[in-house]
Structure 1
Amino acid sequence: MLRTLRSRLTAAAGAAALVGTLLTLGPPAQAAVPATIPLKITNNSGRGEPVYLYNLGTNLATGQQGWADAGGTFHPWPAGGNPPTPAPDAAITGPAAGQSATIRIPKFSGRVYFSYGQKLVFRLTTGGLVQPAVQNPSDPNRNILFNWSEYTLNDSGLWLNSTQVDMFSAPYAVGVQRSDGTTVSTGRLRAGGYSGFFNALRGQPGGWANLIQTRSDGTVLRALSPLYGVETGALPRTVLDDYINRVWQKYATSTLTVTPFADQPGTRYYGRVSGGVMNFTNGSGTVVTSFQKPDADSVFGCHRLLDAPNDAVRGPISRTLCAGFNRSTLLVNPNQPDTTSAGFYQDTVTNHYARKIHAQTVDGKAYAFAFDDVGHHESLVHDGSPLQAYLTLDPLS
């Protein structure tokens, strides 16, 4: 997740900062975002184990990687090694079941991890922090129940989300108290949604149940994302081939129109497949970018053959394609992106992981793949002058 969503949160925050700069001669500016804001963590999990919190990321003022303590003070990581060396213990004691605790988060682009029963293991290489990677059987965190939220806090405000891009695990909701005192939240599962998701995944033919990881004591720990399912062999690499092939066949004889910016309806690109390559042209007929036929890895990860750089043309087209493939809307709608979810995940070949997560959330929103924000279907809260942020640990039921 870090390689995709984090970069887009930072890009969004940077774009907002640029807009703010351009508007300095206009209306009075909103109140400045303080150096830290409170994050209230409420433990509604019903679990009796101790909870450990971690606030890890990049200091936006210095570009340094490190961690923040409960008071929001930043601590840069020391030099790592090869092989990796143990990172300093950055754990913050979290609230007991039924209790709340408040920490302060600084201007960061990072993650707030939480774990049940055991502290997480972090190590440092010469290139920086090694994040948990539980798709690896030897990862020291594989048998720990944990999850994380991602956020960016900068001079333009707070962006905070719940994420399932890497895995679906211990449930939680996020929220923000806005400058006017109102509170918005997202990410909460329906009653019974946690077990409902796993039961639904177990019932999905085609190897989808293989995404589930269970501890030796029977505890269900998580479901890996289909990207990691393909990478580890839990899902066959051909799992999306039928749909991808049908898309390529359709647009060999018809045109796919992409309007990537909701606020720029006149900016359109037109895709046609020729010689096995989908070429996109602008309104003048000039080819602006091209895509080889993707595979499941590229679709689930929104990378490789569907790489999405932070530019004004290829990235926006690619993210639209990625969303259309994951939601299986490209065959039924030649005008992308879709703005409503009514037609999502209707093909028998689709991202069933994402489909089942969205079905279990109260508001239908989730970050089940990297560009789930196309059309604003992501579980994200934002405010330009946040008073307080919230992270609520929900029941595993």
Structure 2
Amino acid sequence: MRKRLHLPAIVAALVTAAGLLTAGSSTPAAAVPATIPLKISNNSGRGDAVYIYNLGTNLATGQQGWADAAGTFHAWPAGGNPPTPAPDASIAGPGNGGSITIQMPKFSGRVYFSYGQKLVFKLTTGGLVQPAVQNPSDPNRNILFSWSEYTLNNDGLWINSTQVDMFSVPYAVGVQPVGGATKTTGHLKAGGYNNFFNALRGQPGGWANLIQTAPNGSVLRALAPLYGVETGALPANAMDDYVNRVWSKYSSQTLTVTPFSNEPNTKYFGRVSGNTMNFTNSAGQTVTSFQKPDSASIFGCFKLLDAPNDLVRGPISRTLCAGYNRSTLLTNPNQPDANDSGFYLDTVTNHYSRKIHAQMADGKAYGFAFDDVGAHEALVHDGNPQTAYLTLDPFN
């Protein structure tokens, strides 16, 4: 399963390079301890047992593995071909109405949580095999679960609520800085869980096919549209009409991309020629080019919209991806569009992301991989974290 790791691979690398982290890091590196507590509260209203997993990369050694409840790191053993069972890395989670506290080490990874059953993880010679529930034969297909992504390093903590791969379990994340107020994100509006699935069912064009149910008919999740396209649940041409209109518009007009909010004079200018959108810098030099993207490239922000961790193509691609998913490229030739009141208004858009944002209490979500363009993502950060929070919210 292709996993979109926003924090370590995208946010940290690009934002650091652009000089954007300094504003959020108010303390010296030495202020961040080796571990910080993560308080996990279960307000779900469900009686199922909960299982917690803290998996990722040890930032001190570069090894992949898991952390136990005390924050002690364990490297994965060698895998096999076919994949071999991974060690049981589960931590018993809190029952309904309860909470537990575990320790988070300096990691870049994920905190998984499942209801009712433990997740199945396996190891190949290349590392950990993570759940791929778009595959009907995946052993986790009928388990209710989700995850939060985080990075804890010498510059602080970044932790998010993500729906990039699927919308499943309602939850929120938070961080309390030393001597400061807790910052939280990810809570749904009242009724938001059911409202999202009802809205997706009512969206024409195959969007209801993204919903997966358990054998007993209960809702498990909605897959992100990339996996809908890849499995045939969503038409492969879902975004084609919008792309064609973008291509027509910028064959005779210029698309201006200003990818760094703190560098307003760094601009790139896009024009379409045939099947290619070429971008030039202020000196008129061509710096990168993009072929006409298909729906999978747009929903996944990859392939024809690949975004390497550099300072030119990656930032331009991130901006284009956001503009396509939010359908703002036709209404605003200056990107990114800062006004979210104009997002998702075209009939051809990422309706999955649109409906998720509509149900979020603060309007923020990770509805697609680069939803952080313009800071519309469900992410909290602090350079001097004291405690992190993960709250399992009610389904009703």
Q: TM-score, with normalisation over the residues of structure 2?
A: 0.96
Q: Deviations over 1:84-121 (max 9, x none)?
A: 00000000000000001000010000000000000000
The 1-side partners of 2:4 and 2:198 are apart by 29
2:349 partner letter: T
Shift of 1:178: 1.2
**Structure 1 residue 32: deviation in Å?**
1.7
Is 1:172 aligned with 2:145?
Answer: no
Indicate yes or no: 2:67 matched with 1:68. yes
Are the counterparts in 1 of residues 156 and 383 from structure 2 also a CA contact under 8 Å? Answer: yes
2:10 corresponds to 1:8: yes
Question: CA RMSD for the aligned pairs?
Answer: 1.7
State the distance in 2 between where 1:18 and 1:250 align.
33
User: Could you tell me how far apart the structure 2 residues matched to 1:277 and 1:28 are?
Assistant: 45
Per mean C-alpha deviation after superposition, the further-off stretch among 5-14 and 138-147 is 5-14
1:199 is matched with: 198
Normalised by the length of structure 1, the TM-score is 0.96
Contact 2:324–2:349, Cα closer than 8 Å, also in 1:
yes
| Structure 2 spans left out of the alignment, 5+ residues | none
Provide closer, same or farther for how the CA distance between residues 164 and 43 of structure 1 changes in structure 2, counting only shifts above 3 A. same
Q: Does 1:105 align with 2:104?
A: yes
Q: Where do 1:179-218 residues align within 5 Å?
A: 179-218=178-217
Distance in 2 separating the partners of 1:89 and 1:14: 35
Aligned in 2, Cα 1:17/1:96: closer, same or farther, shift over 3 Å? farther
Q: CA deviation at 1:179?
A: 2.1
Q: Which amino acid aligns with 1:215?
A: A
Hey, what's the Cα distance between the residues in 1 that align with 2:136 and 2:109? 25
Whole-Å Cα distance in 2 between the matches of residues 15 and 273 of structure 1?
29
| Deviation (angstroms), 1:340 | 1.9
Other-structure match for 1:236: 235
Give a deviation string over 1:237-279, Cα, whole Å, max 9, x none: 0111000000000000000000000000000000000122100
Give the match for residue 118 of structure 1: 117
- CA-CA distance at 1:42 after TM superposition: 0.4
Report runs of 4+ in structure 1 exceeding 6 Å deviation.
Answer: 16-20
Q: Is the 8 A contact 1:38 1:389 kept in 2?
A: yes
CA contact (8 A) 2:14 2:311 kept: no
Contact residue 302 and residue 319 of structure 1 kept, 8 A: yes
Return the offset for 1:2.
Answer: 3.0
User: Which range moved further: 300-309 or 6-15?
Assistant: 6-15
Q: 1:8 is aligned with what amino acid? A: I
State how far apart, in whole Å, the 2-side matches of 1:19 and 1:178 are. Answer: 16
Q: Flag the 1:320–1:36 CA change in 2: closer, same or farther, 3 A.
A: same
Compute the displacement of 1:16 (Å).
9.4
TM-fit CA distance, 1:299: 0.2
Q: Summarize deviations over 1:328-350 as a string: whole Å, max 9, x none.
A: 00000000001120100000000
Aligned to 1:85: 84
The unaligned stretches of length 5 or more in structure 1 are none
Query: 1:279 touches 1:287 (CA, 8 Å); kept in 2?
Result: yes
- Mapping 1:208-287, distance limit 5 Å: 208-287=207-286
1:56 and 2:58 equivalent? no
The answer on whether the counterparts of 1:9 and 1:152 sit within 8 Å (CA) in structure 2 is no
- Note the 1:260-339 alignment, pairs <5 A: 260-339=259-338
CA deviations over 1:284-313 (Å, ceiling 9, x no partner): 111100000000000000000000000010
